[in-house]
Structure 1
């Protein structure tokens, strides 16, 4: 039996339902893991059990993060926020980091990872500046639309082979100040941070693109989930 990977979910606040695109769970299964969808909780006992039971966690994509978590007032460009999801994911992320367990943050999830560890984000990358790249693509979700440059010597380079990778893009927020202990592992040509990681832990990786929608057509993106599952199988000890 493979390692159990928890996945955070989006929240239909009007109908009080959680949901998650099946691309995420299928990617975990294809990588050899067992996906488990996580409902929101503010119960300390539940958090402790999750850390003891789960072998790794994926912080998935979704709505904007409440800027209160990085001591800012909301800008006019800040979109929909989900207070329950924010509180749950911040606490869950901090506990997993403290335990040294594998974490993969995807899109919003990378931003949550950075904020929970003490960094912050741009509430809107287009406010006050003219970016040269479209980061909210008008193309199918599986289609890669711009390049990123992977930083040499990073875990992301070991996983993907490094160099330039063409990715999909669905965001208007992005990592600004990097959290203490983290490094940048990839950027787009206009300087937007596209990857972060924490080198003192075996597997703590954030990526701005959505590999869960790309891996069925390009197995390079499945390798990210495979690396997470390998690390989770060892409770954090990723093989080189």
Structure 2
């Protein structure tokens, strides 16, 4: 039986759901059955988590900083409180059930906040020093900068190497990472690019967007989705 993968979606002002087809195709190509999860179902989140075999937490807008004890800074973009609430609830349920999670871009951030971590609202205004361009001016399948993976990590084992290139589309980033998560990938400027759990069979968050890369045939990205879906079986 193919595993059923719940996929969260971008929500504009809590009234319009949108989702790039790349996420759906990446799951299909990896052998899973994608199901899009809507916001507004917080009361039934336990039932949803029980019926799906894995969770893909996708990219999108910014996250409400009051969720990690801060007030909005000037660099904060559009938020969706309904999406924040739903995603935190379903991530919590999936972690408790030890069901696989793949969290992408915004997803890595909301997953980290769910377990008590925090994030930069805007890396360019909050971090001193020279940063890479983390919002590339290129097509989504372009590989813009390198990521260094921690030796022996889940990420390194999937990638088959400890250094590889990724695309990049973000101005927020994970900051403090609490247990059971740990940092397993960074950019050359120190920005956290990957985290994973030390207490679950498959919980991986990446700051880049592997879904258009997988669709374009990039090998590391295809392996990430293959490993994720296989872990859901």
Provide Cα deviations, 1:144-178, integer angstroms capped at 9, x if missing partner: 11001011011111111132110000001101000
1:55 aligned to which of 53, 56, 62: 53
For 1:127, what is the secondary structure of its paired residue? helix
Q: Distance in 2 between matches of 1:102 and 1:55?
A: 7
Q: Deviations over 1:113-149 (max 9, x none)?
A: 1000110001111114233310010010110110010
**Cross-structure match for 2:11:** 11
What do the CA deviations read for 1:92-118 (whole angstroms, capped 9, x no partner)?
111111111101110000001100011
Cα distance between partner residues in 2 of 1:130 and 1:30: 40
Q: Quote the RMSD (CA, aligned, Å).
A: 1.2
- What's 2:157 paired with? 158
Kindly indicate whether residue 219 of structure 2 is the aligned counterpart of residue 230 of structure 1: no
Runs of 4+ in structure 1 displaced over 3 angstroms? Answer: none
Task: Work out the CA distance in 2 between the residues paired with 1:131 and 1:201.
Answer: 35
State the match for 1:95 in structure 2.
Answer: 93
Runs of at least 5 residues in structure 2 that lack an aligned partner in the other structure: none
**TM-score with structure 2 setting the length:** 0.96
Secondary structure (helix, strand or coil) at the match of 1:166 reads strand
| Deviation for aligned residue 1:220 | 2.0
Mapped to 2, the partners of 1:61 and 1:26 lie a distance apart of: 15
The 2-side partners of 1:205 and 1:121 are apart by 17
In the alignment, what sits opposite 1:237?
none
Preserved CA contact (<8 Å) 1:64 1:79:
yes
Matched length: 231
Structure 1 CA distance for aligned equivalents of residues 191 and 131 of structure 2: 10
Q: Alpha-carbon deviations, 1:186-228, whole Å to 9, x = none?
A: 0000000000000211000000010001112312211111111
Larger relative helix fraction: 2
Q: CA deviation at 1:17?
A: 2.5
Q: Separation in 1 of the partners of 2:57 and 2:122?
A: 20
Q: What is the alpha-carbon distance in structure 1 between the residues aligned to residue 229 and residue 130 of structure 2? A: 35
